[in-house]
Amino acid sequence: MTRSLSAQVGLALITALLLIAIYGPIGVTVAGAFLPMKGGIIQSFTPSLAAFGKLSTDTGLIRSLMMTLAVGAVATVISVMLATALALFSTERGGTHARVVTLIVFLPFVMPPMVTGLSLLIFFRDVGIDRSLLTVTIGHVAIILAIAYRGIAVRLTDLGRSQIEASLDLGASRWQTFHRVILPNITGSLAASALLCFALSFDETLVTLLLTGTESTFPIKLWGMTRLGITPAANAILAILLALTLAGSALAIGLRRRSQP
């Protein structure tokens, strides 16, 4: 069904407007990395890399980035491993067990991060755990678990129970079955889930704000800076992140095109 030209143009226009709106603040951010800004107003139009230079000296910023990466990595690893165990459990038991597990796993995801964050905050206080990067990490795991779980569970269902049964039927132990049949077939979705989880954890603000102690992650540092003004060094970091994301997407497009004739 072909669309009329006017309809196509109209749709394209709406899309373009939305994209402008979405990329507006991003453009401003990137601009702030290359052009000196004060209070959001561009001072001069001569681009400079001074902001990137400041990046290397701003230890607070660097440290928060390191913390963010650490929290992200740990939360991702825990979530993916936990999600795999949960997905295996659900797929194998099926029925009520699967439903209960799915319900519980998706609860923190469906509720706004605020509710999950507050729940953990209250819980930690009740059991006497102080807020720290540890609590932040646990909070991240609660939020991102559902993502990893969904990805892996779907892949396991596709794989089908009969493969697991076939492996057992041929005499393999449960560990051998996991190791030689299940794992090789889910690496794709494990990797994709891990990537997604890391991305979500990296920018997670709401839960982190509630559970953070003295050390902070990058989003919290930014949050703290919003009062006085975000330093150009932070803009520089975001410009780099944007470049990396674009490069990554381009790579993904390239790989896809190569694998699909």
Return the residues of window 63-92 that contact other proteins according to CB under 8 A: 82, 85-86, 89, 92
The answer to the question of residue 238 lying near other proteins (CB under 8 A) is yes
The answer to the question of residue 8 lying near other proteins (CB under 8 A) is yes
Q: Which of residues 17-46 bind other proteins (CB under 8 A)?
A: 18-19, 21-26, 28-29, 32, 39-41
- CA dist 24 and 169 (Å) reads 59
Select from 89, 109, 82 the least CA-distant residue to 204: 109
Query: Are the CB atoms for 210 and 197 separated by under 8 Å?
Result: no
Q: Which of residues 119-138 bind other proteins (CB under 8 A)?
A: 119-123, 126, 138
- Shortest Å distance, C-beta 124 to other proteins: 8
- CA dist 205 and 215 (Å) reads 14
The answer to the question of residue 12 lying near other proteins (CB under 8 A) is yes
Q: How far is CA 181 from CA 153, 164, 177, 197, in A?
A: 15, 7, 5, 25
Interface pick for other proteins out of 36, 73, 77, 185 (rule CB under 8 A)? 185
Helices 5-34 and 50-57, axial angle in degrees (round to 10): 60
Q: Which of residues 141-170 bind other proteins (CB under 8 A)?
A: 141-142, 145, 160, 162-170
Interface pick for other proteins out of 53, 60, 94, 213 (rule CB under 8 A)? 94
The answer to the question of residue 172 lying near other proteins (CB under 8 A) is yes
Query: Are the CB atoms for 144 and 200 separated by under 8 Å?
Result: yes
- Shortest Å distance, C-beta 214 to other proteins: 16
- CA dist 234 and 236 (Å) reads 5
- Shortest Å distance, C-beta 257 to other proteins: 7
Q: Which of residues 217-236 bind other proteins (CB under 8 A)?
A: 218-219, 222-223, 226, 230, 234-235
- Shortest Å distance, C-beta 94 to other proteins: 7
Query: Are the CB atoms for 228 and 106 separated by under 8 Å?
Result: no
The answer to the question of residue 107 lying near other proteins (CB under 8 A) is yes
Q: Which of residues 241-260 bind other proteins (CB under 8 A)?
A: 241-242, 245-246, 249, 253, 256-257
The answer to the question of residue 98 lying near other proteins (CB under 8 A) is no
The answer to the question of residue 3 lying near other proteins (CB under 8 A) is yes
**Cβ neighbours of residue 147 closer than 8 Å, sequence gap 6 or more:** 79, 109, 193, 196, 197, 200
Q: Could you say which DSSP state residue 203 is in?
A: T
The answer to the question of residue 191 lying near other proteins (CB under 8 A) is no
Query: Are the CB atoms for 116 and 142 separated by under 8 Å?
Result: yes
Nearer to other proteins, 18 or 191 (CB): 18
